[in-house]
Structure 1
Amino acid sequence: MVLPVLRLAVSCRCQTAWRNFQQIQRTPLRQWLLKRRQTTVTTESVLVRSAAIPNAASDRVIGRWLLGCSGLVLGAVVLGGVTRLTESGLSMVDWHLVKEMKPPQTRAEWEAEFSKYKQFPEFKIMNHDMTLTEFKFIFYMEWGHRMWGRLVGLAYILPAAYFWRRGFFSRSMKPRVLGLCGFVVFQGLLGWYMVKSGLEEKPESFDVPRVSQYRLAAHLGSALLLYCASLWTGLTLMLPVNKVPDSRQMLQLRRFAKVTGGLVFLTALSGAFVAGLDAGLVYNSFPKMGERWIPDDLLAFSPTIKNMFENPTTVQFDHRILAIGSLTAITGLYLLSRRTHLPRRAKIAIGCLTAMAYTQVVLGISTLLLYVPTPLAATHQSGSVALLSFAVWVLAELRKAVK
């Protein structure tokens, strides 16, 4: 008798609670709260979708970031050139990603670092009478170059991760950014691979210890590729496409500008072989090399192809020919542009490229005639990157609009 009564009471109470819940659901306050929540969710979803879609504002932000990164790469190239000219690149005989970020502090630490340097060929053959003070100078040069390289890596990777998370990158931009960040890491590893070639014992050689010119050219070439890719992408995001008619003359100008840019890049890359072999010290005369237009030892090595990369005379000769070819091509580009109707920005870019080309040739000849003084040689190396920068700017101004 008691159990049925309890069941009836529980059932009645549950039905009453359900009716009360339904009444609360129908109250204006509940409806207002539900409507506000739906509106908030809808607004948040719209904001997320809009943030994930790149627009003109986000393109400008990314463009400025990449231009800033290209400026840092330019600084690394210039600093690397000065490090090479001062023969400081082999002063740090170890490579640690984090540990070497702090240079020696006490005299005992400096003595320990100097003792490690004394075990390698550069000290034994060239710098056997070097003092600790002189060692500190070349050490700080190489340390500054390595720290600058780490700064470049952070400038690429950290903002890229932030922009990726915020949805700033378009679908086509994501693989470019991944490629740039991956190339920065590769560049750091390639730098250490280059340095190792100068630390190796070579019993058969009595020449001045130096890094492999092949690895030096690869290291410089990859840095220039990273610089050009960053600069090109940044400029194309920042600069609107010029409205020019797709005439036959304009098509020829674009093609000629691409060939000229490639020639400028090859000339800059050939400079790495000149630096790696100290080829600027073999014939310090211009326009002839010694008493001849074509020196006798141009093809002294066997097989013949070996002269292109290992014979200092041939390397200097090739660099001269490429430089004269670049100057001729840039002059031709300027004359061709004068007969073509171009926007003002494009004319300014071509004018700057032409002026820089003649300045660079003057710097190169002066460096050669004065037996490669370090300040002038460093200016000449920096000028090659400036010339390459103007070439990329010209290509960005002459690019076709993407349909």
Structure 2
Amino acid sequence: MTIATSSPAASTSASEQQEKNRRAIRIWLGIVVLAIFALVLVGGATRLTNSGLSITEWQPIHGVIPPLNLKEWQEEFSLYQKIPQYELMNKGMTLDQFKGIYWWEWSHRFLARSIGMIFALPLLFFWLTGRIEKQLRFRLLGILALGGLQGFIGWWMVSSGLTQRTEVSQYRLAIHLVMACLIYSASIWVMHGLMPARKSAAPARSAKGFAIALFALVLFQIYLGALVAGLRAGYAYNTWPLMDGAFIPGDLFIQHPWWINLFENVKTVQFVHRCGAYLLLTVAFLNMMMSLSSAPNARATRRSLILFLLICAQATLGILTLIWDVPFHVALTHQAGALIVLGFAVAHLRLLVGPYPPEPQEQSRS
């Protein structure tokens, strides 16, 4: 018996097929990323319009179909009228007004279900046709599992506002948004890991460390923003750069125990969110300057400049959202900006880590 390696022509053909498969998976994941981006924006609109509690039941299958006639609309409305939000905030609301908030929440849930299908069905197809490399299988299954968990987290969040509160818990809202961002980031990470390697000058020695720090800070800042949204803290202290007449306002830790202020004190949560923005901007600036000074021609340096400019734009949107008292379109643009910055931070880090290595071609036996 002899063992013969595959011919150069066969090896080239296999490599070309692998690249075609990778390109197809990149396109699929790109569609997933865009869908998640839209989902988070619709979720933000749902939050800004106070629509998130308009559907008071979790029906993963039957809930796909909205009310189709007057009787069904009245049944949905009667369920909403039983929760505290209606009694304390919207008592006297008409059916037409209820429809306005209902459609936001229904759209959010429908889009979430659609993303599950957009992810799961192509994954199954690529897997069964042998287009997914072994090194990707558990990564993609992990993303799918996170998506399923996110559905439960979403209902867990909504249920917190149906009995004693008029809005959902800010803790659960923050977990829900961070989980969405992790799924979004993981999809971008895998997608960019499948891109062909490109030659470039060596990046600055500190580039990878800064990239990790920037990703962590952006994600943490989004978490803080969710706490601000959950407490409606953006509607208070609408001045900048001073807050309540000072750079460091008083009464930041008036609640006991002291740490509870970081989650439940409107002033403290907004102040920490501001400080997080200053820290993120500073780290992005230092990363850019160090990269420009030590590796000006590197591709990673150009990306560090773009990332800094994106963070500057996002900071400007945050300030405008605050001083203009959270107008709908500006606030939603601010949320979109957060996702753009996060996505670019992930892509920047992925560039420094490098793409997935090609899967070795099997040898033929004779």
Aligned residue in 1 for 2:45: 82
Question: Deviations for 1:225-247, whole angstroms, at most 9, x for unmatched residues?
Answer: 000000011011124254444xx
Structure 2 distance, partners of 1:211, 1:241, is 46
Aligned to 2:222: 268
Residue 81 of structure 1 contacts residue 381 of structure 1 at CA under 8 Å; is this kept in 2? yes
Instruction: Report the count of equivalent residues.
Output: 346
Call closer, same or farther: CA 1:343–1:99 in 2, change over 3 Å. farther
Which of 32, 53, 59 matches 1:96? 59
- 2:186 aligns with 229
Displacement of 1:341 in angstroms is 2.9
Distance 1:120 1:54 in 2: 56
What residue in structure 2 maps to residue 323 of structure 1? 277
Distance 1:401 1:281, change over 3 A: closer
Counterpart selection for 2:172 from 215, 234, 238: 215
SS of 2:204's equivalent?
helix
Quick one: structure 1 residues 401 and 154, their matched pair in 2 at CA, closer, same or farther if it must change by over 3 Å? closer
Two-structure CA RMSD over aligned residues (Å)? 2.1
Q: Is 2:239 aligned against 1:285?
A: yes
Q: Which moved more, 1:190-199 or 1:234-243?
A: 234-243
Between the aligned partners of 2:29 and 2:297, the Cα distance in structure 1 is 25
Is 1:397 the counterpart of 2:360? The answer is no
How does 1:376-395 map onto structure 2 within 5 Å? Answer: 376-395=330-349
Q: Report the CA distance between 1:107 and its aligned residue.
A: 1.3
1:298 to 252, 267, 271: 252
- Provide the secondary structure at the position in 1 that maps to 2:100: helix
Counterpart residue number, 2:267: 313
**Matched AA of 2:128:** R
Q: Any unmatched runs of 5+ in structure 2?
A: 1-9, 358-366
**Cα 1:243/1:323, change in 2 over 3 Å:** same
Taking the TM superposition and a 5 Å limit, the aligned residue runs for 1:4-403 are 55-201=18-164, 209-245=166-202, 250-341=204-295, 345-400=299-354
CA distance in 1, matches of 2:281, 2:226: 19
Mapped contact 1:308–1:315 kept (Cα < 8 A):
yes
Displacement after TM superposition at 1:95 (Å): 1.1
SS of alignment partner, residue 131 of structure 2: coil
The 8 Å contact of residues 54 and 167 in structure 1, kept in 2 or not, is answered as: no
Amino acid at match of 2:119: Y
- Alpha-carbon displacement from aligned partner over 1:46-86 (angstroms, at most 9, x marks no partner): x9xx99x9722111111221121111111111110111011
Relative to structure 1, the CA distance from residue 341 to residue 294 in structure 2 (aligned partners, 3 Å threshold; closer, same or farther) is closer
Q: What is the deviation of 1:345?
A: 4.4
Same amino acid, percent of matched pairs: 38
Query: Tell me, which stretches of 5 or more residues in structure 1 are unaligned?
Result: 1-46, 203-208
Moved over 6 A (4+): none
| Residues 81 and 87 in structure 2, CA contact (< 8 A), matched pair in contact too | yes
Please say if residues 196 and 355 of structure 2, whose CA atoms lie closer than 8 Å, have aligned partners that are also in contact. no
Given that 1:241 and 1:400 are in contact with CA atoms closer than 8 Å, whether structure 2 keeps it comes out as no
1:10 aligns to what?
none
1:394 counterpart letter in structure 2 = H
- Aligned mates of 2:163, 2:194 — CA distance in 1: 45
Deviations for 1:195-237, whole angstroms, at most 9, x for unmatched residues? 00011235xxxxxx11011110110000000000000110111
Partners of 1:177 and 1:401 in 2: how far apart? 16
How far is the alpha carbon of 1:398 from its aligned partner?
2.1
**Considering only CA atoms, is the larger Rg found in Structure 1 or Structure 2?**
1
- Partner residue, 2:3: none
Partner in structure 2 of residue 31 of structure 1: none
Deviations 1:268-323 (A, max 9, x none): 11100000000112211111111122222210110011011111111101100001
Displacement, 1:340? 3.3
1:65 and 1:195 mapped to 2: Cα distance? 30
What SS does the aligned partner of 2:294 have? coil
2: CA distance, partners of 1:236 / 1:342: 24
